[in-house]
């Protein structure tokens, strides 16, 4: 089912705690289903698992998929790489990698912000 992945993606993009799936999103979906559609929401909600662990696992899966795709593109395509080092306010160094490549005749850009 694609909906749980899409919802997990929205949670990640918005930077919300993963627990929001259970505490806000599922109750909101339940309210919409029961109020607007006049249906029993319980069966539908059982098919949309959004526990904290499930959301975290899906976000990790999506991140790994993006990483795998980017590695494949870099290994099979000509690209340019730009590196920039900056210093944060507490004198901590930050390295930014920026890759540019062509995929299907369109220029693509990808940022890599490593964890330290």
pLDDT tens per residue, the chain (116 residues)? 788 999 999 999 999 999 999 999 999 999 999 999 888 888 888 889 999 999 999 999 999 998 898 888 878 888 888 899 988 888 888 888 887 877 776 666 665 555 54
CB contact at 8 A, 112 and 97 = yes
Q: pTM for the whole thing?
A: 0.68
SS3 string, 8-36, reads: HHHHHHHCCCCCHHHHHHHHHHHHHHHHH
CA dihedral 14, 74, 99, 62 (to 10 degrees): 0
Residues in the chain: 116
């Amino acid at each position: 089912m694609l909906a749980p992945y899409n919802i997990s993606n929205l949670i990640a993009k918005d930077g919300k705690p993963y627990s929001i799936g259970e505490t806000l999103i599922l109750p909101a979906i339940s309210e919409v289903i029961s109020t607007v559609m006049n249906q029993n929401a319980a069966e539908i909600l059982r098919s949309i698992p959004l526990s904290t662990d499930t959301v975290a696992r899906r976000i990790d899966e999506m991140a790994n998929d993006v990483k795998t795709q980017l590695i494949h593109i870099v290994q099979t395509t000509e690209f340019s790489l730009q590196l920039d080092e900056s210093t944060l306010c507490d004198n901590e160094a930050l390295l930014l990698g920026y890759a540019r490549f062509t995929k299907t005749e369109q220029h693509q850009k990808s940022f890599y912000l490593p964890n330290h």
